[in-house]
Amino acid sequence: MIIRFLVGFILTAFSQQVIAQCSIIPTPSSYLEVGGEHSLEKQISVVSTSLSKGNRDFLKEQLNNLFSIELITVKKKPTIQFLRSEKLNSSYEIHVGETIIITYKTDADAFYAIASLMQLIDEKAGVVTVKKCEISDSPQFQWRGLHLDVARHFFTVDEVKRYIDLMAFYKFNTFHWHLTDDQGWRIEIKQYPRLTEVGAYRDSTLVGHYNASPRVYEKKKYGGFYTQEEIKEVVAYAAQKYVTVVPEIELPGHARAAIAAYPELSCTEQFLPVPGLWGVFDDIFCSKPETVQFLKNVLDEVVELFPADYIHIGGDEAPKERWNHCEKCEKVISENGLADAHELQSYFIQQMDDYLTAKGKKIIGWDEILEGGLSTNAAVMSWRGEEGGIEAANQKHNVVMSPTTYCYFDYYQSGSADEPLAIGGFLPLEKVYNYSIVPKEITAIAKKYILGGQANLWTEYIEDFEQVEYMVYPRALALIQNLWSKNKVNYNDFLAVFSTYQEPLLQKMKVNYSRSVYLPELKISRTENGVEYTFVSKRNEELKLTKETNRFDMGIGLQIGELEGNSYESQRTIFQLEEGYSINLKSSFLPKPIKYTFKNHSGLGLPVQLITKPHPKYSTNGDLTLVDGVVGARPWKGDQWLGFNEKETEIIVDLPENNVTEITVGFLDAKGSWIYLPQSIVLLVEDENGVWKKSKEVFITEEYQKIDLSVKAKRLKFKVISIDEIPKGNEGAGFQPWTFIDEIIIK
């Protein structure tokens, strides 16, 4: 008995250890190496009588594309044998011995087994081998989704197919196709040709970030749409890869493109163009019966094109401004005994829900749809955090988890200045990896309503397909670990598998994946005389650092040589000459050198006390953030700054001993992200009894607020006073705005 226990223990320990090195992503449920290798010839034969034609073609194409191996039908000892078995305990099993035997339950399982096999094959110097092993695998969640917004930017049928190819290869099975939004209607509807004639095109598009001021537009016609034939083609293509396409028709908000085509659909019935600006617009579908009928007619055609059980009806971000001032909406409210425009929204969704339910479909919508009653089979996509998902599951609705914090692939993946412009937010690979789909607070009963999760790719700032791939990969590999794998390895093991096995595959598939994960970590610490920057490589390699000075105001760079080691100390003493400098960093894992820019000033590393605590989401490196010589990046990338969400923020700063003449405080003005310049700063100085006395008040007029200092003091207290609330007509109107601060520059 004891011996059996011991053997069992050793075997488990052994398989655990090996699974960490398994080349397959998502990590299979179990993986055992048996020792030795099986080498593959350039021509192999397969017993595949049970295999569907689609799967056989997939196998053939993959072997050929990835390893130049040809599948032949000659009767020869088979290299791979496929067996279908209903009785299997898992989805599929792979045995690699003298032959390769793949047992599977369904056609989809066979497809996943082939994808796994492709990731087991190793190619070194033209020699193709497979490690002898035993694999057994099944998925954890049934909804493993990736979303693509084709409204803000349009992607061709071929690009969409490529998106599906890649996701299917990594065992995603749901493609959420965001087909309509303010900036474009992308699906042909035969009854309403103007939806695509007019609604699929805009005259201009915002250049740069939404938060930029002034906003600049490219005045060029932009757009495109899919014909119903093309839609069918994509749906059929996806089905071959066991991907279900869930279309989204946004309502009642994000409807400007439809309104441009048919102004009578709105409350004001006035013509408005398809906007070239992002955001949330007041003009939405009116709740009157005529508009509801229009949407039902649209859905009639949509339902015919998509065999999926679910139709996504949006439901998010629908301001009630127009509904509150519309006679027709008022009539709907009174005739149906509704309390207000909020109940009207749920009544609106309810009508769509009933209509689609009667047609044998189920609705899924963004978590706002919870705000009214829903039919029992309606599902909720939780995006504004996890709360919506928890509540929906408690109400026995199916849930797909897609919270912004972990699943928004339109967010930045590193703080590097080289990242392409993105909406904001910070979602590095590790954060996606450490996400757990089932919220911690959920009850055991509610848990079973969590169908799975998905990442969303909104494309306001994504203009071409190369960038789509850059934003999605490798983050999708981290997400699928959470969605599929029952035996998720730790993050470092995942990274090792990624770089050893998956990167070569991604390169073979010519995926433009991001290398941001290889950016060394920049650690900043206080020293006696200032701050020290240490670059820590994530890989075993020596970093090369060179320093250049640059007078900020002139923007001139001058190379001044190589640095020894991987650290550099910046001292806060005299630097009249060098106001700033850059460190260029070269790593063998990055395609080009990365530039880090630092600012010199007399406050570097001095003590700072945060009387008001920054929000934990935006607390970066704590108090040191304000005096670390790293000036918060614009546009904001979600890190480097301290973010406060209070009316008053108090900070005490120690001053250097030499004469201080001027202090500059950096604030962020990013209204679209609810971040506003504060109203003023009150400066306080301590008297001999330790009482803080107001010394002056400075009104904030710009992002870098200069304050002339006439006081002599050891410490200064800043009381930063925010504006009362976000002004009307802006996103987040009425709410407390955020105050983002960095850096406090002392001269």
Binding site residues, ligand TNX, CB under 6 A: 316-317, 366, 383, 408, 410, 423, 458, 460
Shorter beta-carbon distance to ligand TNX: residue 150 or 746: 150
CB of 467 to ligand TNX, least distance (A): 15
Helix (H, G, I), strand (E, B), or coil: what is residue 609?
A: strand
Which is closer to ligand TNX, CB of 383 or CB of 513?
383
Of 648, 645, 621, which Cα lies nearest the Cα of 632? 621
Q: What is the distance between the alpha carbons of residues 365 and 379, in angstroms, rounded to a whole number?
A: 7
Which residue lies nearer to ligand TNX by CB, 317 or 703?
Answer: 317
Residue closer to ligand TNX (CB basis): 121 or 379: 379
| Residue nearer to ligand TNX on the CB measure, 459 or 640 | 459
Cα(390)–Cα(400) distance, integer angstroms: 10
DSSP 620: T
Helix (H) or strand (E) holding 375: none
Residue type, 458: W
Task: For residue 82, list its beta bridge partners.
Answer: 102
173 SS3 class: coil
Residue 181 falls in the annotated catalytic set: yes
How many of the other CB atoms lie within 10 Å of CB of 558?
A: 11
Q: Would residue 209 show up in a list of annotated catalytic residues for this protein?
A: no
Whole-number Å distance between alpha carbons of 300 and 735? 40
Burial of 94 (0-12, 13-18, 19+ CB in 10 A): buried
Question: According to the 3-state scheme, what is the secondary structure of 697-735?
Answer: EEECCCCEEEEECCCCCCEEEEEEECCCCCCCCCCCCCC
325 is catalytic: no
DSSP string, 218-283: E-S-EE--B-HHHHHHHHHHHHHTT-EEEEEEEESSS-HHHHHH-GGGSSS----PPPSS-S--S-
All residues at 6 or more sequence positions from 293 whose CB lies less than 8 Å from its CB, including other chains: none
- Closest to 393 measured CA to CA, from 437, 448, 346: 448
CA distance 580 to 553: 9
CA–CA separation, 283 and 269 (whole Å): 10
Minimum separation from the CB atom of position 254 to ligand TNX (A)? 6
- Interatomic CA distance for residues 307 and 642, integer angstroms: 48
Between 408 and 581, whose beta carbon lies closer to ligand TNX? 408
Residue closer to ligand TNX by CB (options 366, 518) is 366
Query: Smaller CB distance to ligand TNX: residue 122 or 410?
Result: 410
Largest CA distance in the chain: 98
| CA–CA gap between residue 355 and residue 584 (Å, rounded) | 60
Write down the least CB distance from residue 178 to ligand TNX, Å. Answer: 8
Q: How far apart are CA 95 and CA 292, in angstroms?
A: 56
| Residue tagged 């207000």 (tokens) | 340
Residue 415: name the closest of 405, 407, 425 by CA.
Answer: 425
Residues ≥6 apart with Cβ < 8 Å to 229 = none
Provide the Cα torsion 265, 270, 274, 280; round to 10°.
Answer: -80
Of the residues 254, 312, 397, 601, only one is catalytic, namely: 254
Catalytic residue among 122, 137, 181, 742: 181
Taking the least distance from each CB to ligand TNX, the nearer of 353 and 368 is: 368
Q: How far is the CB of 246 from ligand TNX (least distance, A)?
A: 14
Classify residue 530 as left (phi > 0), alpha (psi -120 to 50) or beta: left
- Residue 433 C-beta: closest distance to ligand TNX, Å: 20
Helix (H) or strand (E) holding 472: helix 465-472
DSSP 408: B
The least distance separating ligand TNX from the CB of residue 279, rounded to whole angstroms, comes to 8
Q: Which of 209, 279, 211, 277 is nearest to 677 (CA)?
A: 211
Closest contact distance (angstroms) between CB of 314 and ligand TNX is 7
| 210/242 with CB nearer ligand TNX | 210
Report how far residue 233's alpha carbon sits from residue 173's, in angstroms, rounded to the nearest whole number.
17
* Residue 181 C-beta: closest distance to ligand TNX, Å: 7
Q: How far is the CB of 145 from ligand TNX (least distance, A)?
A: 13
| Whether 734 contacts 726, CB under 8 Å | yes
Min dist. Cβ of residue 184 to ligand TNX (A): 13
Of 313 and 631, which CB lies nearer to ligand TNX in the complex structure? 313
Report the alpha-carbon distance of residue 170 to residue 28 in Å, rounded. Answer: 12
Residues 6+ apart with CB under 8 A from 392: 367, 370, 379, 380, 382, 398, 399, 449
Nearer to ligand TNX, 316 or 321 (CB): 316
CB of 698 to ligand TNX, least distance (A): 34
The residue number whose beta carbon is nearest to ligand TNX equals: 458
Beta bridge partners, 245, equal 175
Say which of 316, 317, 321, 463 is annotated catalytic: 317
**Residue 271 burial (CB count, 10 A):** 12
Q: State which residue, 240 or 405, has the beta carbon closest to ligand TNX.
A: 405
Minimum Å gap between C-beta 203 and ligand TNX is 20
Minimum distance from residue 407 beta carbon to ligand TNX (Å) = 10
Q: Which amino acids are annotated catalytic?
A: 181, 254, 317
